[in-house]
Structure 1
Amino acid sequence: MTTSIHPSPPSLSENQGGSSFSTGAPPPPVSQTAYTIAGISVLVYGLQELEPGIQEVTCLWLFHGRTRSRECMQPVAAYCIHDWNSRKKTQDANAAASRKLKRGLIAVSFDQRNHGGRIVDPLANEAWMQGNKSHAQDMFSIYHGTTIDTSLLLDHLPTYIFPNDDIAITQDLALGVSLGGHVTWLLLMHEPRISAAVVVIGCPDYIRLMTDRARRSKRPSYTNHTPPGSEFLGSDDFPKSLIKVVEKWDSARLLMRPNGIDDELLPPSPAVQKEIIPLLERRLQNKSALVLSGAVDQDVPYATSEPFLKFLKQATNKENGWWKDGNCEVRDFVFEGVGHNFSKEMVRMSVDFVSEVIGKA
């Protein structure tokens, strides 16, 4: 089921600079070390906080929103690392808990493609209403590219931070906000090493998201046809070649569209379930996701994610899901009164989820 949560603070535009991500308390101090890995400038948080004798580490990958940069994720890293380390200090001294809580936590952030120190063309980060005619191509290619960068860094990060191989990264998690939330969906689907994710105001269905954005932006490609939107896909704003790329990578396209599933057809027939279950096993087996959305988000409306989330929650329901044996958990929360914003309640819930997942490792 979808859980609604309230109250909440006012919305923060995804294009506003800086970081307002807060639990309500100031973020605690956290160490930060810079590396250049495969030509990408990477910030690693929490290395100095690792206790002597730590042999296993969880790595939390953090992804910022559109027009922002890696630095805005520093408070999230600080909250998560401090919370996990505090739990270790106050944990019960029994042997089982000790083994679990001996694990360390670090976090990583880097600029998404064409953002921060990697900027090439500022206009490519803007939307149609800001004059970017190739908004649909630009946004998908940027966050798809960031996903590829992450897989590369997953391979190479240990060779820089733990060159003696005395500490192993044995668990990788992802947390992304807005554009970073889109990245996180792709990683959860395509990167086997990402075992859990927090998706904050992100969307798993790019075609539904951009069709809605074209409607709200009053693009002629959407409005000048009967019925409106009937010829948006395949137009100059969303060309046929982009459809092919999206169908190859997008979460909703991979699991729903090839089998003719939409929000009018849930749950799928037993025959269709039989076709989908191998895909689910390959991509989401033993994974978990915390999905946090704003009820009044105009940039990434919850309605654009809802059909896919309904589909996934029906499949994974522990009591009567048709894929209940996949050990995949989806927690879906919608925050009343929140727009396109990573609210205090969302930050607190994210921090708790990260520590909970690490505690189960």
Structure 2
Amino acid sequence: MTTSQTAITLNGLDLSVYGLTEYKKLDPGTPAAVMFAIHGRLQDRTKMEAISQVLCSLNGNKGGTLKPRHLIVVTFDHENHGSRLKDKTLNYSWKKDSKRHNPNHAMDQWRMMQAAAQTVTGLMDVLESHLFDKPVVDIWGVLGFSMGAHSSYLVAANDPRISVHISLVGTGDFIGLLHARLANGGFPSEYLPDDFCDRVLATYDGLADKLATKKVLMINGGEDTMVPFDRNDGLVNAFLASHDGSRGRDWDRIVVPGLGHAWCPEMFYLCSAWCKQWMLDSDPDFSLVLPPSCFSP
């Protein structure tokens, strides 16, 4: 069954809210969980509809038992994307001998990533009062794909209200990713100024510690050349040493062999399992079961 999609405008921003109509039919005061789903570069919020529908399908009366809370998914367009597009050339990356080359890619993308993280925080300040008659949200989460995943690390680390974080083909090492792209592509060092790198790196200070209490799921493609999975190795090693929980239960990094920079069925399965556990119906004996096609390096 397809979940409802409600269009609202809040903070001057067009939102798609999944699962709200179904929530309104529940008993007043039923607890809610809200997941923000952030799309990738060169896309728009409609690209997050499939995952929004899959996650909202977790709601309802299944097996004769009502879930203890109801999951709502919220999507919006990045700055300069979708309904907010002003200049598409600002969304382009470094491309040799191409009309789609943007020498300011590093700075332009960083601004969009920061803006998305700030948007989620700003929406959390007012969304509950706008959607509901009284406070009902007791779990907030953020999920992102590609550039949206890069953004998700920023808001999950810096907003204490976020407790569930899912990154799809993203990284918490944006500057490391850019340095690798610069070197591999043979682009001028001027594209990545030292002072810019220093400012961005300062934003990531203590990232692993800030995420140590969060339920973090990272899914990357084994053949992804745009955001290689090893760009998260540093965070994985830090989590092994300092995360408050255990791998496979409270956090994990999953690699899908053969997958490039794209969606795959395994993502939908893993995201559903993670959200069911940490946003809807916690099982004390939970352990993330990987599809046969995946591994956890």
For this structure pair, what is the TM-score category when the shorter chain's length is used for normalisation? Answer: 0.7 to 0.9
Cα deviation digits, residues 158-178 of structure 1 (max 9, x gap): 22211x21x511111111110
Residue in structure 2 matching 1:360, options 282, 286, 296:
282
- Any gaps of 5 or more consecutive residues in structure 2? 284-297
Moved over 6 A (4+): none
Query: 1:248 and 1:34 mapped to 2: Cα distance?
Result: 37
Q: 2:86 maps to which residue?
A: 120
Q: Given residue 344 of structure 1, which amino acid in structure 2 is its aligned partner?
A: P
CA contact (8 A) 1:313 1:330 kept: no
Distance 1:191 1:318, change over 3 A: closer
Equivalence for 1:80: 55
What is the rounded CA distance, in whole Å, between the counterparts of 1:84 and 1:336 in structure 2? 30
Name the count of aligned residue pairs.
275
Query: How much has 1:41 moved relative to structure 2?
Result: 0.8
Partner of 2:295: none
Partner of 2:161: 193
Post-superposition CA distance 1:162-208 (Å, at most 9, x none): 1x21x511111111110111011111111111101111000100111
Give the equivalent residue in structure 2 for 1:24: none
Residue 103 (structure 2) pairs with residue 133 (structure 1): yes
Structure 1 residue 249: Cα displacement: 1.7
1:255 equivalent in alignment to 2:206: yes
Q: Deviations over 1:108-149 (max 9, x none)?
A: 000011111111221111101031010110111111111001
Q: Deviations over 1:60-105 (max 9, x none)?
A: 11000101001111111111111233xx42155xxxxx6xx23111
Determine the structure 1 residue equivalent to 2:294: none
Task: Determine if the alignment matches structure 1 residue 342 to structure 2 residue 263.
Answer: yes
Secondary structure, aligned partner of 1:33: strand
Q: Which residue of 2 aligns with 1:181?
A: 149
Deviation at residue 301 of structure 1 after TM alignment: 0.7
Amino acid in structure 2 at the alignment position of 1:35: I
1:314 equivalenced with 2:241 (yes/no): yes
| TM superposition score normalised by structure 2 | 0.87
Work out which of the residue numbers 190, 200, 206 in structure 1 matches 2:174.
206
Q: Distance in 2 between matches of 1:123 and 1:77?
A: 29
Please tell me whether residue 172 in structure 1 is matched to residue 140 in structure 2: yes
Contact kept, 8 Å, 1:294 with 1:335, in 2: the verdict is yes
SS at match of 1:297: coil
* Aligned-CA RMSD value: 2.1
Within the candidate set 116, 120, 134, 1:146 is matched to 116
Q: Once the 2 structures are TM-superposed, how far is the Cα of residue 317 of structure 1 from its aligned partner?
A: 7.5
Partner of 2:5: 32
Judge conservation of contact 2:213–2:245 (CA < 8 Å) in 1.
Answer: no
- Contact kept, 8 Å, 1:177 with 1:200, in 2: the verdict is yes
User: Compared with structure 1, are the counterparts of its residues 69 and 206 closer, same or farther at alpha carbon in structure 2 (3 Å cutoff)?
Assistant: same
Distance (Å, rounded) in 2 between the aligned partners of 1:195 and 1:355? 14
Q: 8 Å contact 1:177–1:202 — kept in the other structure?
A: yes
Identity, % of aligned positions? 25
Q: Normalised by the size of structure 1, how large is the TM-score?
A: 0.72
Q: Distance in 2 between matches of 1:154 and 1:131?
A: 35
Greater Cα shift, 114-123 or 289-298: 114-123
Matched-pair contact (CA < 8 Å) for 1:54–1:103: no
SS of match in other structure, 1:106: strand
Partner residue, 2:196: 242
Structure 1 segments unaligned to the other structure (5+ residues): 1-27, 93-97, 222-235, 257-278, 322-327
3-state SS in 2 of match to 1:48: helix
Do the aligned partners of residues 159 and 339 (structure 1) sit closer, same or farther apart at CA in structure 2, a change above 3 Å counting?
same
- CA-to-aligned-CA distance 1:262-320 (integer Å, 9 cap, x gap): xxxxxxxxxxxxxxxxx82xx2353111110001101101122212222222323757x
CA–CA distance in 1 between the matches of 2:166 and 2:104? 28
Whether the aligned pair in 1 keeps the contact of 2:145 and 2:168 (CA below 8 Å) is yes
The residue that corresponds to 1:53 in the other structure is: 27
- Is residue 2:34 matched to residue 1:107? no
One-letter amino acid matched to 1:191? D
Larger Rg: 1
Assess, with a 3 A threshold, how the Cα gap between structure 1 residues 147 and 66 changes in structure 2: closer, same or farther: same
1:302 matched to 2:277: no
Q: Distance in 1 between matches of 2:81 and 2:234?
A: 30
